[in-house]
Every structure is written in structure tokens, then in C-alpha cells.
Chains A and B, each alone.
Chain A
Amino acid sequence: MAEIQEKGDSGKGGKKRAKRSSTKIDMTPLVDLAALLITFFMLTTTFNKPQTMEINMPVDPENKEEQIALKASNALTIILGDDDEIYYYFGLADDNPELLESSYAADGIRKVLISPRVKSNDKMTVMVKPMEGSRYKNMVDILDELKITDTKKFALVDIADADKKLVEEQIK
């Protein structure tokens, strides 16, 4: 193999000499084996642990009357619709607000969340209302946007009929 044994001294005349065998051993099979093991362990190892996003849901209140109603000037509602659509409006649904359409792209909902109207108001609460047709990815995306824009006050809320009506009117 890689090792080429030198020919032993044939010796002159009839003098007999003890044959000196080489002390080198052929390491090639050893290397082969080690490389095989390295490959195996490298391929079976999972290196990066999955990331997680921690969320704390509010504790369900004992009685609903204790909750304080949100002021219209401090409310931003984001509705996650079917087919990755996203809508938002300021204020409360009962006041017939203007529903605006946005997107998950960098210049979409993120622009709204860093706009002065949201950022300069400490009491501004973002309510995320996913509709039945929305995907799990939409929810994670929007939570991610809230994290990127460092929005502290937000809540995942069930969608109300008033919100659904607003979206329906928008589509029409």
C-alpha cells in the first residue's frame, strides 16, 4: 500500500544476518476507519437546538366586569385574514374605523408599528386577532414583528363579529 518496504540487504557472501524488519506499520486502514467514524458522527449530530419564542398569555380573569375598557385612542387592532392577508385599524370596532390593508413584508405592518402614532403613545395596546382562515405562521410572524419593533403591550384576542364585518366590507 502506501508503505513500500525497502528490500532487505541481500548480504555479501555467505554471511548471515538477522533480517531487520521495519518498525513502521501501515496506518492507512486505521485512517480509513477514523474518517468513516468522523463522517458518521458528523452527519448524525444535531448541532443547533431549535429556537423558541416565549409567550405569556394573560390569566383568564375571574369576572369580566373588573376589566377596564380600552380607550379608543389607545387601541390598534391587527386582523390576520385568510391567504396571508393582514388588516389593521386604529380605535374600536364599534366606531366604524377605517380598515387598512397591509402586508408581512418589511415595509408593511412594521412601518405601522414603528409609526409615531404607536411609538409615542405609551398606552397604545396592540390587539392581534387571527381569523379562522389564518395560518400558524401568520401568528408567529406577527408576534415576531411585535418583538422586532419592541412593542410591549399586545394581546392575542379572539376575533369579534364586529371585526369580521369590517373585513367583509373591505373585501367587497
Chain B
Amino acid sequence: MPKVKVKRKNPSLDMTPMVDLFFLLVTFFMLTATARPDEAVVVDTPSSVSEIKIPDTNVITITVDKDSRVFFGVDGQQTKEALLDKIAGKYGVGFTAEEKRTFSLLSNFGVPINQLKSFLSMESSARKEVNQPGIPIDSVHNELGDWVLQTRLTNPKVVIAIKGDQDADYPTVQRVIDILQDRKVNRFNLITDMESKPTNL
């Protein structure tokens, strides 16, 4: 009987298909990725069965956090630069080119206009630490109304979305809605989380 020879196999395996697959995935994720924007506050939105998606561009996001502070955000760097120019002209505050650039990179903010200059001139790490008081919405200093109005003049296509925290109190939200209605905005979106629709009706 011949001796059974144990065949010595080379333990290396061909990794080429694996690498192919990995790079395909890397390419996919790189192209679809949109970096998560740096939000000034974290809000926990309530859920709803609504299935309408918010558009990607031309959105004003008015954030109301659980301490009823109001934050304003708009997308588009050019829009933001033009907007800051208009607000600067209206309130008589001058901004340097550097501050404008910083402003155009902010995703949202919640400081009154008279504090905005010092807020923008801060280091970006210090800016995260600062406790933003929220944009004034009372009838004497209705700055939110001005921001919304000027943004709509800058970019007429904008859609307004309200992103409220579950625990935000209703009078603040009502006040924001009233401000929008004063500016003849009667149609807006409430940002919510997904929830499954009940089937037994």
C-alpha cells in the first residue's frame, strides 16, 4: 500500500476579491456620506406617523430646545453670508471677513445680535463651550422675525422647519408660529421622528 502523502497546502488565501469588495463599499460610503452637522443643541424630537421627508437644501431650521431657547439655522454658505450682511446693515453691526466666514460655516446658533460679534470672534473650541441664550423672540426684540424675513428675502425658495424638543413648552412654540404668521408664513414643517402607523383602525 502506498503511503498516503499529506499534501502541504499553502495557507495563504487570495484576498483580491475581498479587497475589491471593501473598496467598493468605501467608495459607496464616501460618495453618499454627508458629514453630520455640528448642532448647537441636542433636541429629542417627538415622533409621528408622517412620512414626508424634509428637503436637503433651502431649509430654515428653527430649533426649540427643552429650556425653550430658540436657535436659528439655514443652509447654504452664500445665503448665510448675504444674510449676515443684511442683518449687519439693519442693526448697524460691522462684521469682519473672518467673522463672516465663521458665520457661513455655522449650522445653527442661538445668540442675540448684539452678542453675535463676540460669539463669532471666539475660538471654535470655546464657542462650543459657551452657553447660548437663544434668539430673542419677545415683541420688543423680535430678532427671530428679522432673521426669517431677511433669509426669505435672500433666498425666496426656503422652506421653514420647526424642530422642537418633546419637552419644549407650548407657549414658546406658539410664539414662534405667531412670529412666522406675522411674516406671512402660513405653511411650515414640524420635524419629527419616525413612528409606525397603527394598523388596527
The secondary structure that dominates the A interface is: mixed
Q: How far is the CB of A79 from chain B (nearest CB, A)?
A: 12
Partner of B194, one of A51, A130, A136: A51
Partner of A46, one of B11, B34, B64, B177: B34
Partner-contacting stretch, out of A65-73, A90-98, A141-149, A160-168: A141-149
- Whether the Cβ atoms of A56 and B186 lie closer than 8 Å is yes
Question: How many B residues are at the interface, by size bracket?
Answer: 35 or more
Interface size counted on chain A using CB atoms at 8 A: 52
A48 at the interface (CB under 8 A from B): yes
Q: Which of A28, A51, A139 has the most CB of B within 10 A?
A: A51
Partner of B52, one of A6, A51, A140: A51
Q: Assuming the A-B contacts A58-B186, A114-B201, A134-B170, are A140 and B46 also in contact, with contact meaning beta carbons closer than 8 angstroms in the complex?
A: yes
- Whether the Cβ atoms of A130 and B22 lie closer than 8 Å is no
Q: Assuming the A-B contacts A31-B15, A54-B189, A135-B168, are A148 and B46 also in contact, with contact meaning beta carbons closer than 8 angstroms in the complex?
A: no
B167 at the interface (CB under 8 A from A): yes
- Whether the Cβ atoms of B19 and A27 lie closer than 8 Å is yes
Bound CA span A55–B162, Å: 11
**Chain B positions 43-63 with a Cβ under 8 Å from a chain A Cβ:** 45-54, 56
User: A residues bordering B, Cβ < 8 Å?
Assistant: 2-4, 6, 24, 27-28, 30-31, 34-35, 37-38, 41-42, 44-46, 48-60, 80, 106, 114, 130-141, 143-144, 147-149, 158
Sample (14) of A-B pairs whose CB atoms are under 8 Å apart = A2-B15, A27-B18, A28-B15, A44-B36, A51-B50, A53-B190, A54-B188, A135-B166, A135-B167, A136-B64, A136-B173, A137-B166, A140-B164, A147-B48
